[in-house]
Amino acid sequence: MARSMTSPVSQVASPGRTDSARLRWRDSFLRVRGETERRAARLSTEDQIVQSMADASPTKWHRAHVTWFFETFLLKPHLQGYAIFDERFPFLFNSYYVAAGPRHARPQRGLITRPNADDVTAYRAHVDAAVTRLIETVAEADAPRVFEILEIGLHHEQQHQELLLTDIIHAFAQNPTDPAYDPDWQPPKAAAGPRGFVAVPQGIHAIGHEGKGFCFDNELPFHDELIANMRIARHLVTNAEWIAFIEAGGYATPSLWLSDGWTAVQTEGWQAPGYWRNKDGGWHTMTLAGVKPVDPAAPVLHVSYYEAEAFARFAGKHLPSEAEWEIAARAGLMADAYGTAWQWTRSAYLPYPGYRAAEGALGEYNGKFMVSQMVLRGSSLATPEGHERVSYRNFFYPPARWQFTGVRLAEFV
Ligand SMILES: [Fe+2]
């Protein structure tokens, strides 16, 4: 069938471009898959089994689940003659895709000692070979859809690369021997320069993903938002500022807290950010390099939305909305917007005006979570290189604090 020269299909399908596109996709695929294994390689077989809480998953499960994603959404529908690696695996490694079939209970992922880590390594190799074969042989007419699903799978795997680290840190923090994921890991240096607040352009501005390049469906549609007369902090809240909050009785002052936040403080016994412990007369915290003294100048990490909100109230400030954050980021107003800590916003995770989730199982990726969670913006020290975007919307429940989450303040004028 003849196609218009201007259609996206014909752009991918023209001979020279298809070959170079195939090479690019194969390189990207192998690079992302390799990064997962590089992150897992520091962990022993025993490390890879443990599930330290219901929200966290074992490393072995992450390695298998991202592989299941390619097998289920890419290989089964698009690689003719593809043989499932193991018929038992879809039940074990489906996360939350109801349309993709039944699945193992999330809190019991740590009980799956078999398949063992070597079995998962073999599963990964099987799927890697099949995806590579698909990239090299897919019919030109099918190439756009195949590469589209492949790209979602790569960004999905990158999300799990970050979770792999946050989940193992949580497990290590429960271990009295204080294991270190990477003894040589160094924290990112917080940006220097003048502190304080900077005015965000007031008025109507567009946010969301525009133009070319990948985005998740929750970043669409590109749409207008109204920005009030406000200013945003150039820097992230530091550990020194957080220690002042603690020493001023922040965790013991109910008037600073949302009702649900105060309940969490009491039921969880929070007296400091996640992983903080008082040792030898000073605060220490679990890091990727093991337990280290808290650096007063570094941005605070592992705080929940409730804590971020209470701190903002204590400081006489507010949290920015996600639109305020994005307009400030587009204007280059903030230091450490990316690469240190996901920054809580005061925005509930809701659909943008006109958003509709896609049909089918992949439509479950984001849309069905748009209730009861808060948006975080930026990226963290654990986010894989190249994964961050100005329109990226991360989201977690308000009490969550095992991610690399921090705080940027805002004020209204
Ligand atoms: Fe997933």
Q: 290 CA to middle of ligand 1, Å?
A: 27
Q: 18 CA to middle of ligand 1, Å?
A: 29
> Alpha carbon 357 to chain centroid distance?
19
For residues 8 and 399, the model is more confident at 399
Mean pLDDT of 296-306: 98
| Three-state secondary structure readout of 245-300 | HHHCCHHHCHHHCCHHHHHHHHHHCCCCCCCCEEECCEEEEEECCEEEECCCCCEC
Q: What is the DSSP string of 206-256?
A: EES--SSS---GGG-S-EEEEE-SEEEESSPPBHHHHHHHHHTTGGG-GGG
* Residue 229: count of CB within 10 angstroms of its CB: 10
Q: 156 CA to middle of ligand 1, Å?
A: 6
For residue 2, pLDDT over 50 is answered with no
What local confidence, expressed as pLDDT, does residue 18 receive?
67
Q: Predicted confidence band at 5 (pLDDT cuts at 50, 70, 90)?
A: very low
Q: 66 CA to middle of ligand 1, Å?
A: 6
Q: Is the dihedral angle over the CA atoms 237, 392, 225, 350 positive or is it negative? A: negative
Q: 320 CA to middle of ligand 1, Å?
A: 28
Q: 250 CA to middle of ligand 1, Å?
A: 36
- Separation CA 284–CA 279 (nearest Å): 6
Q: What are the tens digits of pLDDT across the range 244-297? A: 999 999 999 999 999 999 999 999 999 999 999 999 999 999 999 999 999 999
Mean pLDDT of 316-335: 98
Q: 128 CA to middle of ligand 1, Å?
A: 17
Q: 164 CA to middle of ligand 1, Å?
A: 11
Q: 54 CA to middle of ligand 1, Å?
A: 15
Mean pLDDT of 66-71: 98
For residue 236, pLDDT over 70 is answered with yes
Q: 154 CA to middle of ligand 1, Å?
A: 11
Q: 150 CA to middle of ligand 1, Å?
A: 14
Q: Predicted confidence band at 307 (pLDDT cuts at 50, 70, 90)?
A: very high
* Residue among 148, 140, 144, 92 nearest 116 (CA): 92
What local confidence, expressed as pLDDT, does residue 358 receive?
84
What local confidence, expressed as pLDDT, does residue 192 receive?
86
Percent of the chain residues topping a pLDDT of 90: 90
- What does R_g of the chain's alpha carbons equal in angstroms? 22
Q: 5 CA to middle of ligand 1, Å?
A: 36
Q: 223 CA to middle of ligand 1, Å?
A: 28
Q: Predicted confidence band at 131 (pLDDT cuts at 50, 70, 90)?
A: very high
List residues bridging with 348 in a β-sheet. Answer: 374
Of 6-10, 62-66, 96-100, 237-241, the poorest mean pLDDT is in: 6-10
Kind plus residue range of the DSSP H or E element containing 395? strand 394-396
Q: What are the tens digits of pLDDT across the range 359-390? A: 888 899 899 999 999 999 999 999 999 999 99
> Alpha carbon 207 to chain centroid distance?
20
- Separation CA 149–CA 32 (nearest Å): 15
Q: What are the tens digits of pLDDT across the range 168-185? A: 999 999 999 999 999 999
* Residue 183: count of CB within 10 angstroms of its CB: 10
Q: 333 CA to middle of ligand 1, Å?
A: 33
Q: Predicted confidence band at 189 (pLDDT cuts at 50, 70, 90)?
A: confident
Which amino acid does the sequence have at 237? V
Q: 160 CA to middle of ligand 1, Å?
A: 7
Q: 86 CA to middle of ligand 1, Å?
A: 19
Question: b or e along 48-76 (b: 16 or more beta carbons within 10 Å of the residue's beta carbon)?
Answer: bbbbbeebbbbbbbbbbbbbbbbbbbbbe
Q: 181 CA to middle of ligand 1, Å?
A: 22
Q: Predicted confidence band at 7 (pLDDT cuts at 50, 70, 90)?
A: very low
- Separation CA 164–CA 56 (nearest Å): 9
Q: 206 CA to middle of ligand 1, Å?
A: 29
Q: What does the mean pLDDT of the chain come to?
A: 94
Q: 68 CA to middle of ligand 1, Å?
A: 9
Mean pLDDT of 40-64: 98
Query: Where are any strands of DSSP class E within 136-202?
Result: 197-199
